[in-house]
Amino acid sequence: MEKPQSKPLGELELIDRIRRGSNRARNPSVALGIGDDCAILRPAAGYEILVTTDFSLEGRHFRRDRHPPESVGHRCLARGLSDLAAMGATPLAAFLSLALPSAMLSRRRGLDWVDRFFAGLHHLGDLHNVPLAGGDTSESPSDLILADIVLIGSAPRGRSLRRSGARPGDALYVTGSLGGAAAELASLFTRRKPNPPVANLADHPHLFPEPRLAVGQTLLRRRIATAAIDVSDGISTDLTHLCQASKLRAEIDQTALPIHPLAKQLTPEQALKAALHGGEDYELLFAAPPAARVPRSVGGVPITRIGTLQRPGSKKPIITLAHPDGTRTAIQPGGWEHFSASRKTVR
């Protein structure tokens, strides 16, 4: 077994910076945050704990030459928050393990990257009262940045929204709009020049997605949704997950799909593809009984009815798309793949 080594100077400075730059977010359920051997969480009586974990790996989930560090930090946290949102949970705390290339630990420019990464992570954490309550740092064994985040949330015991609760006849809804993240991602990779600085986060669905926590919590509190999932891999993939878990099939109305303005700048065919298969929109997709009172929006986030769920048929596809001309086609799961060196896509 390898002998445990004391942390190199660059790493100690990194830890010091993380502590000093620690976010202002306070959460009453975090009895003890960064600074001891463990954090202590104290969920309210009658609540249970939800846990989700996500890798953010350079070259797979982001590219240093395309994603501003603030975006990498934001997205690292946003992905886990979106999973909590999908289950109607309230986030309590985040834990981050971060491995940085040795060159970054010894150079000022590398630490600038770290400061900006945490600025992005803390900005989103502050918005949702999610303190960074602990973590670990290490020198990366390669020249790649590796981050692993754990998000802890809570929900009233037995009430979390799951993928499996939908019933035949339920209507299908989606929050916000679709295809924006895929459209922005495509533009990030086609531009030859460095990408311009970000002025308004809301205009950047790929770089700065907004997890739909308020919507998820409202769906849970008002007992509206029978099942829910977040759209991380594209609606075709995530709706398939929901249908399989609930043992149903879905029909989507093409004209009802809310297309993001950035996707509308593509050809109609590309826009539809981005809306159905583009990953990382981080919207919520949920089912509700036909008689449920589904609000048109929650906290300014629109909610759109896009289809229905039905009993499965032996020869019927899991997802059918009804076109404006009355024809129907089967939709296969086609969420975006993680990118590799040969395929310049990312998720």
Contacting residues for 9 by C-beta, under 8 A, at least 6 apart: none
Instruction: Please identify, among the stretches 10-18, 24-32, 232-240, 303-311, the one whose residues bind Mg ion according to the rule CB under 5 A.
Output: 232-240
83 is a site residue for Mg ion (CB under 5 A):
yes
Q: Give the number of other Cβ atoms within 10 Å of residue 271's Cβ.
A: 22
Q: Candidates 43-51, 80-88, 164-172, 190-198: pick the segment binding Mg ion (CB under 5 A).
A: 80-88
Which residues in 15-54 contact Mg ion (CB under 5 A)? none
Site for Mg ion contains 280 (CB under 5 A): no
Give least dist CB 213 to Mg ion, A.
13
**Least CB distance from residue 87 to Mg ion, whole Å?**
9
Of residues 101-160, which lie at the interface with Mg ion (CB under 5 A)? none
Q: Residue 132 CB, nearest distance to Mg ion (Å)? A: 21
- Count of residues that interact with Mg ion, criterion CB under 5 A: 3
Shortest Å, Cβ 4 to Mg ion: 35
The answer to whether the CB of 47 falls within 8 A of the CB of 154 is yes
Candidate segments 82-90, 142-150, 195-203, 274-282, binder of Mg ion by CB under 5 A: 82-90
Selected binder of Mg ion within 70, 139, 230, 251 (CB under 5 A): 230
Q: Which is nearer to Mg ion, 230 or 251 (CB)?
A: 230
Nearest to 281 by CA among 317, 257, 246: 257
Q: Which is nearer to Mg ion, 230 or 280 (CB)?
A: 230
Say which residue the tokens 């395929």 belong to. Answer: 343
Q: Which stretch binds Mg ion (CB under 5 A): 5-13, 180-188, 228-236, 266-274?
A: 228-236
Min CB(287)–Mg ion separation in Å? 15
How many whole angstroms separate alpha carbon 241 and alpha carbon 192?
37
Which of the ranges 21-29, 77-85, 153-161, 179-187 carries the binding residues for Mg ion, by CB under 5 A? 77-85
331 vs 347: CA distance, rounded Å: 21
Part in contact with Mg ion (CB under 5 A); list of ranges 16-24, 81-89, 106-114, 178-186:
81-89
Instruction: Rank residues 163 and 260 by Cβ distance to Mg ion and give the closer one.
Output: 163
With binding defined as CB under 5 A, does residue 281 bind Mg ion? no
Beta carbon nearer to Mg ion, 139 or 230: 230
Q: Which is nearer to Mg ion, 83 or 281 (CB)?
A: 83
Nearer to Mg ion, 218 or 232 (CB): 232
| Cβ distance to Mg ion smaller for residue 238 or 251 | 238
Among 243, 258, 259, smallest CA distance to 308 is for 243
Residue ranges in contact with Mg ion by CB under 5 A: 83, 230, 232
